[in-house]
Amino acid sequence: MSPPWSQPLDVDRLSHGETEIDFDVPLAELPRLRSRIAGIGGSVHGAARFGRRSGFAMAELSLVGKATLQCQRCMQTMELGLDGTTHVALVFEEADAAEVPDDLEPVLAREGRISAGELVEEELLLALPIVPLHEELSGCAVPPAASLLPEEAPEHVTQRPFEGLAELLRRK
């Protein structure tokens, strides 16, 4: 049986009833995150409060948790804290997204259904960095190149790829 956060729920029923659902979602089980961010781990928990605004079903999504990512500078694991609230409009067709008020982010709810996992996944695709890096260079296991001592630096050799070209032109 699939976990409760992955079950598609009826958007109209949730919004008319002003339902609130709580969830705990392991990030490694979200397929779109897993395919875009290698080695993602961690989890988020939070709540989605549904309602209606400006003629649209909407959800206020609150998330708290940690994502475990791989720093692309040192290739070591790092943790990124997640904490935020966002408001989304749940639209049934892509054409409706243009009519969503500016203070709401449109999210496509195919066939009028969406799961808590899809809401979390959509938000984290926007919130997580494309290239995860430790905020401070000191957090990385790789020493900065500037710390190399002069005697360790490779000897600079000037290369002249066209040096023999003048000789070849004289031969013709």
Q: Are 58 and 109 in contact (CB under 8 A)?
A: no
With a CB cutoff of 8 Å and minimum separation 6, the contacts of 44 are 24, 25, 27, 63, 64, 65, 66, 67, 82, 120, 124
Across 130-147, average pLDDT = 71
* Distance in angstroms (rounded) separating the CA atoms of residues 161 and 123: 52
- What is residue 60's predicted lDDT score, i.e. its pLDDT? 94
Confidence of residue 6 (pLDDT cuts 50, 70, 90): confident
Across 62-81, average pLDDT = 90
* Distance in angstroms (rounded) separating the CA atoms of residues 88 and 96: 13
- What is residue 149's predicted lDDT score, i.e. its pLDDT? 52
Over residues 31-59, the pLDDT tens digits come to 888 888 878 899 999 999 999 988 899 99
Question: Coil, strand or helix: which one is 72?
Answer: coil
| Ramachandran bin of 58, using left for φ above 0, alpha for ψ from -120 to 50, beta for the remaining angles | beta
Over residues 87-96, the pLDDT tens digits come to 999 999 888 8
**Residue 154: is its pLDDT beyond 80?**
no
Q: In the beta sheet, which residues pair with residue 46? A: 23, 63
Confidence of residue 152 (pLDDT cuts 50, 70, 90): low
**Residue 27: is its pLDDT beyond 80?**
yes
Q: In angstroms, what CA-CA distances link 105 with 57, 115, 119, 121?
A: 12, 16, 11, 14
